[in-house]
Amino acid sequence: MADTEALRVRFARALQGARGGTQGPDPAPYADNLLARWQEPQRHYHTLTHLTAVLDHIDELEAYADDPDVVRLAAWFHDAVYLPERSENEERSARLAERALSEAGVPDDRTAEVARLVRLTVTHDPADDDRNGQVLCDADLAILGSPPSAYAHYTAAVREEYHFVPAGAFREGRAAVLRQLLDLPRLFRTPYGQEHWEATARYNIRGELEMLSLPVPPPT
C-alpha cells in the first residue's frame, strides 16, 4: 500500500525544486488532486504503487538527468489522466501539467519541459541527448526488467485495466506493443538501465510474447 503522506512530501519537494526556491501556492491541494487521480477505480496497474516505483527509479537515476525535479514532476503527471479506453491520455495529462504547474508557480520553461516529458511517454523513445527524457522513460519502463513474479503481476494488472477488450483483440494489441518495444535498439537509455534492466526486460517480453501466441482456451 502506497504511503500517501510520504508521497505528499515528495511532491512538495519536487515542486519547490522546480520553482527554483521561490515561494508559490501551497503544494498540498495539487498533491491531493494528483493522489486522487492515481487512485481512481479503473486503475489496476497505473496506481500509486506504479507512481511510487517510478519516483524511486528516478531517485536511482537522478545523476543522469539535467533537471531531476522536473523529471519527478513529469512522473507525477505522466498518467494523471488515465482512461484505458481512450487514446489521448498522455496529451490530456500534459495539458493538465501545463495548467497546474503554471498556476503553482513553476517557471514557464520548466512547466513546458514537464509537459514535453509527459508527451514523450507515448513512444518511450528519447533522443540521444535528451537526458531528462532518458531518465523518465527508463524509470517508467523499469517494471519490464523486474523479476518474473513481479512481471507476471504487472501483466495481469494491465489485462485487468483492459478487461473490456475481448481476449483475441487484447492479445493482438498487446503483442504489437511488445514487438514495438523489442524493435528498439535499446529499451533503456541510461547506463544504469542498460546494465541492470535491459537483458531481463527482453527476456520477460519474449516470454510474454510466447504466452500471447498460445491458443486461447475455450470458455468453461
CATH of 4-213, one of 3.20.20.70, 1.10.8.10, 1.10.1300.10, 3.30.43.10: 1.10.1300.10
In the numeric block, which cell numbers belong to residue 2? 502506497
Q: How far is CA 32 from CA 24, 35, 36, in A?
A: 16, 5, 6
Asked if residue 177 has pLDDT above 70, the reply is yes
From the list 1, 71, 57, the residue with the least C-alpha distance to 192 is: 57
Asked if residue 217 has pLDDT above 80, the reply is no
pLDDT the model gives residue 7: 98
Find the DSSP H helices in 39-147. Answer: 48-61, 68-77, 89-103, 108-120, 131-141
Mean pLDDT, rounded, for 63-77: 98
DSSP 3: -
pLDDT the model gives residue 214: 85
Distance of alpha carbon 64 from alpha carbon 206, whole angstroms: 28
Convert the pLDDT of each residue in 12-68 to its tens digit.
999 999 999 788 999 999 999 999 999 999 999 999 999 999 999 999 999 999 999
For the whole model, what pTM was predicted?
Answer: 0.94
From the list 145, 124, 159, the residue with the least C-alpha distance to 194 is: 145
